[in-house]
Each structure stands twice: as C-alpha cells, then as structure tokens.
Structure 1
Amino acid sequence: MAQTQGVLTYPEIGGQSDALAAAWKQLETQQEWISQFIGNSSFDEVIFIGSGTSYYLAQTAASTFRKWTGRSGAAYPSSEIFLFREQAVPPGKRVLLVGISRSGESTEVILALESVKDLPDWTICSITCDEESTMAKLAPYLLSPLGKEKSTVMTKSFSSMTFMLQAAMARAAGKTEQLKELQEAVELSADVVSKADETAKELISGHPELNKFIYLGMGSYYGLAQEACLKIKEMSCVWTESFGTMEFRHGPKSVVEPGTMVCLLLSETARDYEIKVAQEMKEYGAHVVIITADKGGDTGFADLVFDTGGRALSDEARAVLYMPLVQYIGYYTALREGRNPDSPRNLTQVVKI
C-alpha cells in the first residue's frame, strides 16, 4: 500500500537545498531592495516581525543583523506591533519594519504593517514566498522563489527565507567573508539534507522510548531551537519544549529523565559551555543529540552527533544547515505516532483572524 501520510512534507524538507540556491540567485536581482531597506543606515531600528515559525525566523534574523551590520535590530511577534507598539518601540525613532510570512496572508503580519505604514517615522518592507500575496502588494518584498509549500508545516520556506535575509544583510554590510560563508553553506546543503533524512529515520525508529523532546540553542540558534520544538510539536503532537542552552539549567532541567531527548544546537561561540550542559543532561538520563559543524573529541559522550561540516563558517552562516535534521525528526516522529505531517491537528496553512 502506498504511503499517504507526509507526501507533501517529505519532498518539501528534501527540497530546501534547491530553495537555498534559488534564493541566492534571486538576491542578485534585488540589490535595489537591499539598498533601500536592509542596507539603509538612516533607520535607527530595524524590527523583524512574524507569527509562529516566521517569528522564530525573525529572532534569528535580528540576531544576525546585529552581529553582521553592527546596527540595532529586534524581533517581535506581529501582534505586538499592532496591539502593543508603544511597549515595543519608544517614540522618536526611525524604524524599518520587516514583515515575514511564507504565504503573505497571515492576518497578524498584515495588520502590523498596515498599522504603521502611514506613520511618519516608520517604513515597511517584507519577505515572502508568494509574490501575488496581500503582503507583497502592501510592502516591497524579497521573494524566495522555491520557498512556496503545499504542506501546512513550514520547512524549506523557513530555511530559504532565513538564508535570504542573512545574504541580504551580508551584501548590505559589504561582508565579503560572510557572503563566501553563505555560498559554502549552499554547497554543503544537499549532502546535509540527505544525511539528515537517514539519521532522523534511524533515531526515531531505533528509540521508540523517546517521548519527551527538548531543544536547546543560544545566540542566533535560539530562534532555531524554538522552531525545532515547533516542528515536532506541530507534526506529531508529542511533549516538547525549547530553551536557551544555559538557561535550561536554571529549573527546567528538572523534567529530564530516561525517555527524554535533549537536542543541542551547538554553537562554536559558546561550544565549551554548551557541551557542559549536554554532559549534565546525559548524567540525568537524557538521550543526548548534538548538531554541530564538527564532532570533535568533546562530543564523544553524546548518543548521537550530527555533523554538518563547515566548522570554519560563522554560527550565523551555518544556521540553515542545522534545520534538516530537526525537521526530519518531527516528520518521522509524526509517522511513528500515526499522524499525518501534512495535516497537523487544529492547524491550517494560513492563520487568519
């Protein structure tokens, strides 16, 4: 009998390498957008907004923006801007608001952009996978050409839009080294996706006892950890949480016990500290998974080490290489639980109010 579950999600996860390459090529035609918006130093603050997955993307984008451009940037859920703007942004600043939405139809991001588009100190722009969308017509946009998806769950759209925003920042800041790093990430991506598929399948099929999933990340990987948590939660409805790596030790670690998978998205910036956290969780009985550029002798204690390559790359440039494994873990866990990754419970592809 042919498999009917996950027939949309599976090829979309597998297609993200092509989506990254297409985003890289597309960016060459959008230099004017970069100069007018992300590269425009007249803005006092650049705010990235989204809802759900797009908000987690915004967090990684803001972190990268601050690091690579040296300018002030922040991330907020879309609803914070149209409902609590005064708490989020003090008056008197020149603000660029960057809306993020795969479909360009999310009610909250559209309401946020519309709420400020006529204010004198605010400028709006966007990134999407649908050039015909409401948001694209409202705000000048970057387009991820192969990011569009049929599945409810965002996978290659997240990776391609994250990558595209990072590449736009590197171009805006004249960061030749970061642009080379991003190009290398594209070249590594196909092999990482293929390896992640097999690794996740073996992990989930080989460990049916895993019933609690925790994702840890810091810096630009904090948003990725939240997104990893959301992927498995959406697709499989299992118990899962995400935390800042060091923060997890301050109370939340009490939930760790046998049957808990702790997945660390390991940075090079804080590698030594983060490794110690993972070691501690192993001592508490967790099944420890580490995603890293390079295994190294310090990760030998872990139950699974998934290495992406590219250790010479910055943490930010390597970010999209960390996503295939966590997306496939969500996918295979859903199949294990008898759920259809294409149609998560209570969810629709576009959230409207």
Structure 2
Amino acid sequence: MCGIVGAVSSRNIVGLLIQGLQRLEYRGYDSCGVAVHTGRGLARVRGIARVADLARQAQAENLHGCTGIAHTRWATHGAPAIDNAHPHFSMGPLAQTGDDAQGRVTLVHNGIIENHEELRARLQARGYRFASQTDTEVIVHLIDSLYEGDLFEAVQAACAHLRGSYSIAVLHRDEPHRLIGARAGSPLVLGLTAHGETWLASDALALAGVSDQIIYLEEGDIADVQPGKYWIADARGRRLDAASRPVQTVPASGGAVELGPYRHYMQKEIFEQPRAIADTLEGVQAVTPALFDKTGASSQSGAAGAFAQIERVLILACGTSYYAGCVARDWIEALAALPCSVEIASEYRYRQSVPDARTLVVTVSQSGETADTLAALRHAQSLGMAHTLAICNVAASALARECRLALLTRAGVEIGVASTKAFTTQLVGLFLLALTLAKTRARLSAADEAAHLKALRHLPAALQAVLALEPQIISWASQFASKENALFLGRGLHYPIAQEGALKLKEISYIHAEAYAAGELKHGPLALVTSAMPVVTVAPNDALLEKLKSNLQEVRARGGVLYVLADAGTRIESGEGLHVIRMPEHYGLLSPILHAVPLQLLSYHTAVARGTDVDKPRNLAKSVTVE
C-alpha cells in the first residue's frame, strides 16, 4: 500500500500521474515513484521524500511517456528506502541479462503477499535477482517468468500463485500501449474519459479533474487497458460485459481537499463536524428502517424484514471505528434491549466464535475498504450470518457493496490520518440505528422519537459551542507538549471517548497515552500517577458522576494533575492540580459526540506545539488496506 495511479493515453501523462499521487498523499506514505514507457523502453524515478520532490526529479530527468504507473508506499516489508520504493522492475533471470539490462516488466502494488518467501525462493532458484526486501518484488519477477508474449495472460497466471491481498498495475517493455490491473482484497478502480484515455487508481479521488466515470473492479477482477478501450475478466477468467461492471458517475471536487484558512487538514476537519453531522442527518424526518436500505425504500426483504428477525447485534470495526462501536453497544442495549457485542475486526475471524443467524452484523469503517473489517464481514457471512449492515463514508466502497444494508455518513473527504469528522458522523449513524432497532421492537414512543430527533438536529449548534472552547484547550496543550505520558479516564458511555482521546494523542503527538475505565484506576494504573503524568477525565453530568468524583480524588491524593472536561452542574471547580474546562451543556445520550471534540482539539494543538507532522503522522496510513 498505499496509493496507485496508472493510465494509457496519447499524451505525456507524467505530470498527471504525479498529480494523482498528490491527491492520495493524505493516506500517508514513506516513499513514492513513477514509471512510464518512453517509447524506447521503461524508465522510472523513485524517492523517499514527498511527491513534490518526485515531481522535481521527474522534470530534471525529462521523464516522458504516454503509458505509465505511479505509487505512494507505506512500508510493510522493508524499510523506507529507494530500493524498496515502487515501481519495481524485473530485468529477467541473470542468465538472460547483463549489467546494462533494462526493465522488462514494471509493477506497483498495494497489499501483502503472504507466500512471498516461498515465491522468492522459487524465483531465485530460476536466476532472478532481488533488489529489495519487499513482498511486492516477487510479483514482478513472477509475471516476467510467466510472460509468453501476452501481458494479460501472464498477470492472470501470476495471480493464481498469489496468496494474500493485492491490487496491482503492470506494464511490459514489449507492449508499450497496454496496462494491466488486478485486484484481490485491495481496491482498484477504472476511470474513463471522453477522449479515449483510460486510468487505473486505488481511489477515485486520485482521478479528480481527470475522470468522474468510474468502474469499481470486484474481487478477483483483471482489467486490460489499451488506447480507447478496455475489458475486464472476473476471478474465473470470464470476459464480462459492460452491465456486469457498470460505469458510475463519481464527482470528486478538487476543492474538497483544499485547506482554506486552516493550518492543517485535521484542524479543518475538526471544524467541519457541525456541517458533516448536518449533512448526515439531511432528509431524516423520522426513525425508519428505510434509512438503512440502499434503495431508500424499506421492504420485508430489506431493513424492515431484517430488523424484525434479529435477536442480537454484532459490531465489527478497527481503531477509531471500534470505539464508535463501543459507544453504540451501550445505546443499543439501553434503547432497544438487544444484546450487543463489539469485536476488533482483526481478531474476530481468528477465534472460535458462536454464530447466530439472527444476528445483525454491523460493520463500521470510514473508507469502507479496511481490509480487516472486510475480512471479518466475509467470515461472519461464511458462518451463516446474512443480516449485514455497513456504516461508512464512501457509498461505492467494498463494505457498502458487500453488506445487504448500509447507511452513508456524509462526512466528505477526510484527509488527516487521525479520524475526526468520520468518527462523530459514525456515532450519529449508530445512534440512528439504535433508535430504529428500539422502534422496531416497540420500545420507542412517539414522544421519545421526537425528542431524540430534536436533540440530533441541535447537534451542529451544540458542536459550534464546543469548538468555541479552542482557546482554553490551546492553553492545556501548551502544558501537554512537554509530557511523554498521559492517562485518560471515563466511565460508561464516555469510557470509549476516553479511549479515542488517548488514541488521538498518541497518533499525532507521539505522547504515550492510555485510557482506562475510571473505576479500574485503583486496580493498577494508579501506580503510574505522578505530577509528571497528566490525567484527562471526561466528566459528564450523568448517573456515574459521583463515582467519578471519587476516582478524581484518588488521583489528587497521589499528587496527580487533573484535566477535566466537565458539564455544567457537576460542581467540579478548578484548583491546584485541577484544571477544568466547562462544556456548554449536558447532552444526555448524545453527550459522547460533544465530548469527543475537545479531545480532538487537545491532540491537535499538542501535536502542533511539539512540531510533529499532524496530517501524516509517522508509520501510519489513512486507509488500512492490508491485514
């Protein structure tokens, strides 16, 4: 991983390929490269700096070509280094090459090849020399070893040997106007243009300004792209007609990724949350299963029928989305009286679980392409759990396509690696799900439904008031910037919010942060409390407040310094070793959404004070399309 762009054209496309990489920079990467067919053979440039540096390098070397591929890499196998950067070349086996050998095949790859060691040994025995430590290089040599004059057939034969996940784009020296793409477990799209130019990309956003006519390749597809034409074969090798992989119009505005007046995308996206939530709620006039039907019209075969049959809920997610699921568990059990469990998607399919066909499997993902979440979904389906629902931010994603039901969170493009507006819109979608399940089970009165919808519609205004606390949070951040450890505490609905706050701080400021249910403090974490470790506490005015106050006293008695986000009426006042920011209002069941925002701001401003790369934190990628 992390980003792929490729094209076949009648014009020089080097600049366009690099522009495509720039649109994918938000995913995070540690090296990048571009390769083209120059008309005389294959040529490439690679680097371990930013895409802007790659552009200067390509210009300096006068790289020029009408068929090409480009890539941003987030390291999985092999450190960030030129030799490990994509595109990779195969020069052929040693017996056929000399020191001046030029590339015969070039390839870019997202994903992980699980049997790369076995393939590497086999190819080395045939005389192939490996220049990198990557799993990717086995694919390019494997394709070269199978090439007999037709690149499509060679890629098709190579894919049969691969185990793991991949999306690839491949060129061959002897076929200058041909590009082959293939995918299994990692996304890949085709982009069509009116003037016969055809593109491949891992994300439709990479093609903004170039093409809005998109074809989403399905699992196992291989695409053959040539000037003015293309065709696709499925996993069985059958050539598909146009109806099987329809063209979809996917507008992608370049303005969506402009910073505007903000210093970083993360800051911009934090302040976009009132709008994102309003957009997610647009058109929601009542609590109804139709909200979760892809067609928008409920039927017994859709959400209404599924919700009437289920007896429990299983939420599958990773990272920030997992914490959203943990909040939703409490909502679903409290409102709908349905047993609900939340599983880390990357762990779920590797343990012996007890399947139940009457379970609603809810998958949560910003991109809808998270590899672990997709694998967990498919595992649940293989166990006979057919009632599946996706809550994600991308309507055409694999997750939305593979689940029977879906709710689209309208957060818009999220560039910063640390998720903010995607998280709060996920919470809104999950709250709508909890209300719908409650209504289906006759546990939601008309008066309660109206009250909850009114509270949801007031959220954008309530969030604006929370965002106005930014100056106070900047003051906290100046004190956090010199710390190396932090502890976050919460109870009940707000414990997952404390976990999310700790995750944000560690992601972008590189401060070690952990979260605990406040009642667990005395069972071990209290040993860590000193004046050098700030303790952040989420303190809503709810039924657990008095218990939480006792936990705060435990910290103060050990010399700990507290930073408390307190609702009005909590009677928690600032004092020595106790810093309080007063939230504008208590928001009942929706309070977690409001409390998440100051924790996002705290992480952001602490990272800014420490001088870290806020939008592209080290070692992390935005869309995690590998296990």
TM (norm. structure 2) is 0.52
Matched residue pairs, number? 346
Matched-pair contact (CA < 8 Å) for 1:215–1:229: yes
1:59 and 1:304 map into 2 onto residues whose CA distance is: 28
User: Any conservation in 1 of the 2:481–2:607 contact (CA below 8 Å)?
Assistant: no
The equivalent of 1:66 in structure 2 is: 333
> 2:355·2:383 contact (CA, 8 Å) conserved in 1?
no
- 1:235 is displaced (CA, Å) by 0.4
Match of 1:157 in 2: 422
Looking at structure 2, the residues matched to 219 and 37 of structure 1 have their Cα atoms a distance apart, in angstroms, of 29
Deviation, 1:156, is: 0.9
Matched, 1:216 2:216: no
Aligned to 1:308: 583
Distance 1:295 1:21 in 2: 28
Matched with 2:312 is 45
Query: 2:356–2:384: 8 Å Cα contact kept in structure 1?
Result: no
For residues 146 and 296 of structure 1, the distance between their equivalents in structure 2, rounded to whole angstroms, comes to 32
- C-alpha distance in 2 between matches for 1:44 and 1:218: 27
Which residue does the alignment assign to 2:343? 76
Tell me, yes or no, if structure 1 residue 290 matches structure 2 residue 548: no
Q: Does 1:186 align with 2:444?
A: no
Which residue of structure 1 aligns with residue 375 of structure 2?
111
Q: 1:243 & 1:97 partners in 2: Cα distance? A: 27
Worse-matched range after superposition: 137-146 or 31-40: 31-40
Q: Deviations over 1:256-308 (max 9, x none)?
A: 11121111112412000101111221232222111122154344446322222
Matched AA of 1:164? G
* Structure 1 gaps, min length 5: none
Q: CA deviation at 1:6?
A: 5.6
1:45-74: CA deviations, max 9, x gaps?
111111111111111111111111111111
Task: Tell me the equivalent position of 2:268.
Answer: 11
**CA–CA distance in structure 2, aligned partners of residues 3 and 144 of structure 1:** 23
Distance in 1 between the 2:391 and 2:290 partners? 14
* Distance of aligned partners of 1:141 and 1:91 in 2 relative to their CA distance in 1, 3 Å threshold: closer
Supply the distance in 2 between the matched residues of 1:98 and 1:151 (Cα, whole angstroms). Answer: 25
Taking the aligned partners of 2:479 and 2:580, their CA distance within structure 1 comes to: 15
| Cα distance change, pair 146–242 in 1 and its aligned pair in 2 (3 A) | same
What's the counterpart of residue 273 of structure 1?
Answer: 547
In the alignment, what sits opposite 2:401? 137
How has the CA–CA distance of structure 1 residues 28 and 341 changed in structure 2, closer, same or farther, with 3 Å as cutoff? farther
Q: Is the 8 A contact 1:260 1:287 kept in 2?
A: yes
Kept after mapping to 2: 8 A contact 1:129/1:145: yes
Between stretches 138-147 and 338-347, larger displacement belongs to 138-147
Mapped to 1, the partners of 2:357 and 2:597 lie a distance apart of 38
Q: Report the structure number with the largest CA radius of gyration.
A: 2
Amino acid across the alignment from 2:473: A
Read off the aligned partner of 1:61 and give its amino acid letter: A
Aligned partners of 2:357 and 2:396: how far apart in 1? 31
Q: Does 1:201 align with 2:458?
A: no
Cα contact 2:346–2:372 (8 A) shared by 1: yes
Per-residue Cα deviation, 1:153-174 (whole angstroms, up to 9, x for no partner): 1011101111221133224423
Shift of 1:92: 4.3
Which structure shows the higher strand fraction?
Answer: 2
Sequence identity percentage = 23
Q: CA deviation at 1:78?
A: 0.9
Describe the superposition over 1:162-215 as per-residue Cα deviations: whole angstroms up to 9, x where unpaired: 1221133224423423333333333311111221x2222111225654432111
Supply the RMSD in Å over aligned alpha carbons.
2.5
Corresponding position of 1:230: 503
Unaligned runs of 5+ in 2: 1-258, 293-297, 439-443
Q: Which residue of 2 aligns with 1:32?
A: 290
Query: What TM-score do you get using the length of structure 1 for normalisation?
Result: 0.90
Secondary structure in 2 matching 1:279:
helix
SS at match of 1:142: strand
Q: Are residues 33 and 184 of structure 1, via their aligned partners in 2, closer, same or farther at CA, if it must alter by over 3 Å? A: closer
Q: CA deviation at 1:13?
A: 0.9
- 250-259 or 18-27: which moved more? 18-27
Aligned-pair CA distance for 1:31: 4.3
